[in-house]
Each structure stands twice: as structure tokens, then as C-alpha cells.
Amino acid sequence: MFSQAFSSLGMRVADEKRNRQIDSLRMDGIAFAKRPKELRKPGSVFLAQSYLEAHAVAAMLVDLGRAEGVADVVRAKPPDPDVEVRYTEQGSLFVEQTMVMDAAATRLAVTIDDANIAAYDLGTEDPTLRALLRGGMFSIRLDRLREDCLEMPLSVDALADEILNVGRTIGGPVSCLEPDPTRSPLLYALGASIFYIPGNAQTARPIQLPIFHGRIRLLEPELRAALGKKKEKAAAYSDQCRPLWLLIDIDLNFDAGRRLRPIAERAMDEFEMSIYDRVVIQQVGYPPLVFDAA
């Protein structure tokens, strides 16, 4: 069932060339390069779900050498699969897309994202904080984030207040300052380090989102769960939605790397390919893994 990532087509081309190829594809009639990215909410670093689904499919098409002749990448509506890839001469390819994530790591990232947005909006109303945010790079890094921090109960408003309180204490350059545990208990518990570099830069997002903070031991059970859910969903699709592919993106909160292939192979060994013609499992930075129906 397992197909090796293609030796030439499957290997990721240089990032710049790859990005140009993705940007040249059309989504709902407009090239990705010519449309603004659709965000989860204004100021967020996360893409809206339907945009993310279509962009993930576009990236897959480029990486697998299937982008030539694509007329449009169309976001479908239920009950059809998530994306319809329309070719100029080859009909359509239907793709159901999903993301495998560590739920707790994702909640933490979304909470940080919301706190950053709230802090920036509130900070621009305060002259002192506005000068800080617009007069240099104010950065709170979570390089010392521990696994138990993923399950911490966090309030967006409380975290935003701590960001602003820390900002009010900064009077010049700061490097690797530890937050005060009494005044900033949440940031202290998260193992934060505070930096500020005055200059021409502007601060958009004070807390830098940590990557590779998911629990790798959860990847395989989460992947198996995603496969089960998508098999049930596909049972309701019309027979006209063929060929039908399942695209599974592995979120960057998992530092999967070379461990992804054996995990994916074990999960796919028990997956009955009775509905999907192909399953593609990919993570940014690595060739996609391709599983075809026998």
C-alpha cells in the first residue's frame, strides 16, 4: 500500500521556487499571490480553516508534481469533500483535508494568539505602551516551555494584562529578563524570557509562538483517530466525487521529522482503503508520504 515519496517529484523543490508555484495556482478563481490571506480573526497568525485546507492542497499538488494543468482549486461546500481540484483537461480531483494536532498545544497557541491581539489593541491606546510597541522589538519567548505548561488553565485577558504590565517596566534594551513571579505569574510559569531591542522595528505579536511543543507520543493515536473520522465522513460522499484523496497535514507542534514515516506506516497498515483512492500525509519541510489503494 505504501508508495515511496517520489525520488524527484516528491522531494521538495527549493522553497522560493516552490512558493512561486503555489502562489501561481488559483483558489476560487483568484491566484493565491493576488488574494490576501484569510485569517482566523484580524491580527491572528493562524489561517482560516477553509483557506488553510485549500492552501494545503495546493502545496501537496506542487510537491507531488500534480500542479500542471490545474485550472482552479475550489473550496467546496458540505456534503462534498473539502476541496475540488479542477484540471483544464483531466476532470476533477476531490480532496478531503484534515490537520493532526496535539489538542492542548493547540489551545495554548490559540490562547497566546488571542492574548497577543488583545495586548496590541489595548497597548496602542496607552502612549507609553504605544511608543514601546512602535519603537522597537518587544519579544517574549517561551524557549523554556515545559510539557506540563500545555495543560495550564490560561485566561486570554489575564495573559494580555501581563504582557502589558511587563511592557510598562521596560525603559531600554532588555535581554533574557525573567518575569517577576508575583506580578507576572502566568508568564513566569510558562518559563518566559523577555527581550526588547529599540529601533525601527514594530512589535506585532509580543509573545512568540513556540513551535515543536506538541507531545510526540500523541501523534500516532491522533493520526489513527483522524483516519477513523475521515473514513466515516467519506461514506456519505457522492460516487461522482472521484478520484477521492485524503490529505492529512501534521501540525508543526509535533516535531515529527523522520519519525513520521514509521508512525504513518503503522497507522496506515490498519486503515481500510475502501473509500479513498489515495492518502497523503505531509508535514512542512519533508516530502509527503503517499499511500495508494491496493
pLDDT digits (tens, 9 = 90+) for 107-121: 999 999 999 999 999
Same domain, 145 and 280: no
Same domain, 65 and 117: no
pLDDT for res 281: 98
Domain boundary among 156, 171, 198: 198
Q: What is the mean pLDDT of residues 152-178?
A: 95
Does any domain span residue 172? yes
Same domain, 87 and 219: yes
Does any domain span residue 173? yes
Domain boundary among 153, 170, 198: 198
Q: Is-above-0.85 flag for pTM? A: yes
Does any domain span residue 139? yes
Does any domain span residue 208? no
108 or 77, which is more confident: 108
Same domain, 188 and 60: no
Does any domain span residue 23? yes
pLDDT grade, residue 2 (50/70/90)? Answer: very low
Same domain, 70 and 52: yes
Same domain, 13 and 57: yes
Percentage of the chain modeled with pLDDT above 70:
95
pLDDT grade, residue 14 (50/70/90)? Answer: low
- Count the domains in the chain: 2
pLDDT for res 202: 87
Does any domain span residue 235? yes
The CB-side HSE value for 261 (13 A sphere, CA atoms) comes to: 11
Same domain, 97 and 219: yes
pLDDT for res 198: 94
Same domain, 221 and 93: yes
Does any domain span residue 268? yes
Same domain, 228 and 273: yes
Does any domain span residue 203? no
Same domain, 191 and 279: no
Domain boundary among 153, 173, 198: 198
Judged against a pLDDT cut of 90, whether residue 11 lies above it is answered with: no
pLDDT for res 79: 87
Q: Which domain holds residue 279?
A: 2-101+215-251+261-292
Same domain, 226 and 287: yes
Same domain, 74 and 113: no
